[in-house]
A and B are shown apart, each in its own frame.
Chain A
């Protein structure tokens, strides 16, 4: 079945440094939707980015990601981390045929 693999565990960065959280996926379907969700402490997950278009960069709130079907990847990037970016980030995969799959989540901690 479908699966999503993310950068594991905790990523700790200093404010101002670039962010890259890895996400790769497996699916037999040719047109998956890929998502990044962000969950701040004591809040619920909310959508950060989504894409279903191969090789097209999508951006929101300073974050960007590009779906690369050739490598089954949808890495999340930001040029300069802010303290407020500290949160739990989930990569997720969806298609019209199966239940959506979430990765295990990556906790990003940005320090001053």
Chain B
């Protein structure tokens, strides 16, 4: 079953708190991605991971960091969350260069 999962699906945090978003995939894809989606701004790439411990910044990495210790798991961490990080976050995975499979998304609100 080809699937990308994300936890949690909904999260409310206060400004300054730490946030951990988790993503898993069962397709043994080497490449995984974190995006955020805001109205009118489309999908913005935060980080891309080409494999375990091989992570690269995307277009908007400031304020975020990632961790990939196992091929099937990719975490997004917000240290000291800010209100402008309120967004919907999507994780995706793919074989290198091929179509991306997206998770269901996490709706994060930072108060």
Contact = CB atoms under 8 A, between A and B. Distances in A.
Given A44-B104, A46-B102, A99 B48 contact: yes
A43 B48 CA distance: 22
Interface in A29-48: 33, 35, 37, 43-47
A16 B65 CA distance: 47
B48 A44 contact: no
A15 B52 CA distance: 47
Interface residues of A, number: 20
Interface in A68-85: none
Interface residues on B, range: 20 to 34
Contact of B43 (A35, A94, A96, A105): A105
Given A44-B90, A90-B42, A102-B43, A96 B99 contact: no
Given A33-B97, A102-B42, 12 more contacts: A35-B99, A44-B90, A44-B103, A45-B102, A47-B99, A50-B98, A96-B96, A100-B33, A100-B94, A102-B43, A103-B42, A104-B42
